[in-house]
Structure 1
Amino acid sequence: MYWDRVVVLNGIVDYLLLLSAAWLSGLPLRRGRLALWAALGGLYAGAVFLPGLEVLGVPVIRAAAGIAMALGAMKWRWRPAGVFLLLAAGLAGVILALGLAAGSPSGLVQRLYLADISWQGILLVSAGFYLVLRFFMGQAARHGGGELLQVTISVGGRTQTVTALHDTGNTLRDPVSGCPALVLERQAADGLWSPEVAQVLAESAAPEEKMARLHRIGCPVRFTLLPFRAVGTAAGLLLAARSDYIEVNGRRYPRTPVALSEQPVSDGGGYHALWGAAEERGRGHEAVDVAEAAVAQSAKAG
């Protein structure tokens, strides 16, 4: 048995599975954190073979260690950890199927478990596995746009960067200019306001009452109300601030409304905003042009 190969191979596979699970779950790809926990998983796999630590190979303890590794890598979120466990089970099924096709499943599993294969084989299998997972992962993770975006918001000279989901199902716009609006969790925007403005925004009051109070305290940021309708939610109003600009993938949208949501926009907490404008040229270039024209019209009107 090659102890170092056991550690390296298990660490590589754990990292790929953790990376895939995070991507599928819509979480930010904290590669350093994922690599750290994958390395710990590889060391655990190697520790099973050390004298006096054979108890670590008991199936129940192995399962508990796998769950703990997944939870630690995913910041103790159960759903992404469950995705990791499902991917691991799927990989085990693929290995079993290959073994059955080769006529000796136990022999193949044993060789993989002990890392009794060449370094060239380790590198080729790991690279191919990652590319296949990334291809299918990239398709499965899309949700009407689907990818996560880093969005820089500037309001009144204050800037903040947040992670947003590119969701073309988000059609919220300024009803006057037609400018697409960024929907942002109010709790994730504290860096954009002065303490006085943040205090008013945190109050438990209707959006129109908050806007009146902001006007009374002489808030320098221009706020407006945007009507919205969502599935399972009664139609209502969202308080929105007119930004200096937002920047998405290097493209700036001046004076874009930033609508503040009191409810989280993500179940898993992987992103804190929704952006609905098309960002790609090609089939989506007309939508981008419309968005830019709306922004230009808003700028002239302001």
Structure 2
Amino acid sequence: MEIYIDILILQNVVMNYLILFMTSKLSKTRISNLRLLLGSLVGASYVVFLLLFPEMKIYYTTVAKILLSLFIVAVTFYPPEFKSFMRILAIFYISTFIFAGAAFAFLYFNKTGGLIQNGIFYIFADSKWSMMFFSSVTVCIIVKIFWDLIQERFIKDNLCIPLKIVFENGIIDLHALVDTGNSLHDPLTNAPVVVVEFNAIKDILPKDIQNIFEESKEEDLVRATEIISDSKWFSRFRLIPFTSLGKENGMLIGFKPDYIEIGENTDKKGVSDVIIGIYNRTLSKNNNYNALLSPELV
């Protein structure tokens, strides 16, 4: 069997990237594409090293592979705490097993698809990309199904938690509903969006931004854009498209806070990479909550 090292490297970089990408999603750790690529290259270089120096048997051992996984996670995610590191490492192993299981399944149904030798996964030229594609699709379906089950089992629709929003010198404390249907993201930065009632947050907003909502001009995008453009907070504000909250093809005016705090006491979590979407209506009929929080922030 002929092995093309450039194809082997590319295959491993792609698979490693997908595994690390899924790890970042499941662990709710936001990592740049550059970091993901760097971790992928670390894993791929190990495979190339084994091919160039096959006589060094120590690198085929379980200990060596565990050390490699530790290094990949450290390079990609650089978690500051030991507890966080072990959590991400465990999710990395789970992601790897899911991808490996999907790949083995397709190898089983396509006996000419590839083989495993000395711990290296080889995919033959006539099926490599199709198998990687179908393996990735299968993994996405599996993760989606199990993620929905986890959310349904552990994140109830009536779960309300404390939320603190800090913007410049203003601080607002309110309660947020963990809403599994809130999948809004800022189209520019892909940051998750927390939907908050205007009346609950207006005290920390600049006066010119308050006027937009008090005069119900938020749906007049031309006028709202003019006001925001003239505001000194222009760089902090966003326009976020949405198709829920009782309206299709709508647009929320949002802003980037200094940070938010979710939960309380020992479960408190600070998040800075987030957008607050301002909703000029009531979210709760009985006023139990004033915001809708995405499950990925919990």
TM-score by length of 2: 0.52
1:235-254 C-alpha deviation (Å, 9 max, x unpaired): xxxx9883327758351269
Q: How does 1:202-221 map to 2 (within 5 A)?
A: 221=170
- Conserved in 1, the CA contact under 8 Å of 2:172 and 2:204? no
Q: For 2:95, which of 87, 99, 103 is the aligned residue?
A: 87
- Which whole-Å CA distance do the structure 2 matches of 1:264 and 1:248 have between them? 34
- Conserved in 2, the CA contact under 8 Å of 1:23 and 1:137? no
Report SS of the residue matched to 1:109. Answer: strand
- Which whole-Å CA distance do the structure 1 matches of 2:121 and 2:129 have between them? 16
- Conserved in 1, the CA contact under 8 Å of 2:163 and 2:173? no
- Which whole-Å CA distance do the structure 1 matches of 2:176 and 2:102 have between them? 46
Instruction: Summarize the Cα distance change of 1:228–1:88 in structure 2 as closer, same or farther, 3 Å threshold.
Output: closer
Number of residue-to-residue matches in the alignment: 212
- Which whole-Å CA distance do the structure 2 matches of 1:93 and 1:243 have between them? 51
Instruction: Summarize the Cα distance change of 1:30–1:96 in structure 2 as closer, same or farther, 3 Å threshold.
Output: same
Q: Which residue type is aligned with residue 143 of structure 2?
A: M
TM-score by length of 1: 0.51
- Conserved in 1, the CA contact under 8 Å of 2:16 and 2:40? yes
Report SS of the residue matched to 2:51. Answer: coil
- Conserved in 2, the CA contact under 8 Å of 1:184 and 1:273? no
Report deviation, 1:52: 7.1
- Which whole-Å CA distance do the structure 1 matches of 2:65 and 2:272 have between them? 35
Point out which structure has higher relative CO (alpha carbons under 8 A, 6+ apart).
Answer: 1
**Mind listing any 5+ residue stretches in structure 2 that lack a counterpart?**
80-84, 179-199, 210-236, 242-251, 291-298
Name the structure 1 match of 2:28.
Answer: 26
Name the structure 1 match of 2:63.
Answer: 60
Name the structure 1 match of 2:124.
Answer: 117
Instruction: Summarize the Cα distance change of 1:134–1:52 in structure 2 as closer, same or farther, 3 Å threshold.
Output: closer
Name the structure 2 match of 1:7.
Answer: 9
State the superposition RMSD in angstroms: 5.1
Q: How does 1:1-302 map to 2 (within 5 A)?
A: 1-51=3-53, 54=56, 55-76=58-79, 77-96=85-104, 108-110=115-117, 113=120, 115-118=122-125, 121-141=127-147, 169=158, 171=160, 183-184=163-164, 189=166, 192-193=167-168, 221=170, 226=174, 242-244=203-205, 249-250=240-241, 251-252=252-253, 263=265, 271=271, 290-291=282-283
Instruction: Summarize the Cα distance change of 1:130–1:31 in structure 2 as closer, same or farther, 3 Å threshold.
Output: farther
Identity of aligned residues (%): 12
- Conserved in 1, the CA contact under 8 Å of 2:20 and 2:92? yes
- Conserved in 2, the CA contact under 8 Å of 1:18 and 1:38? yes
Instruction: Summarize the Cα distance change of 1:139–1:243 in structure 2 as closer, same or farther, 3 Å threshold.
Output: farther
- Which whole-Å CA distance do the structure 1 matches of 2:156 and 2:238 have between them? 16
Instruction: Summarize the Cα distance change of 1:229–1:102 in structure 2 as closer, same or farther, 3 Å threshold.
Output: closer
Instruction: Summarize the Cα distance change of 1:69–1:98 in structure 2 as closer, same or farther, 3 Å threshold.
Output: same
Name the structure 2 match of 1:236.
Answer: none
Report SS of the residue matched to 1:64. Answer: helix
1:186-219 C-alpha deviation (Å, 9 max, x unpaired): xxx5xx435xxxxxxxxxxxxxxxxxxxxxxxxx
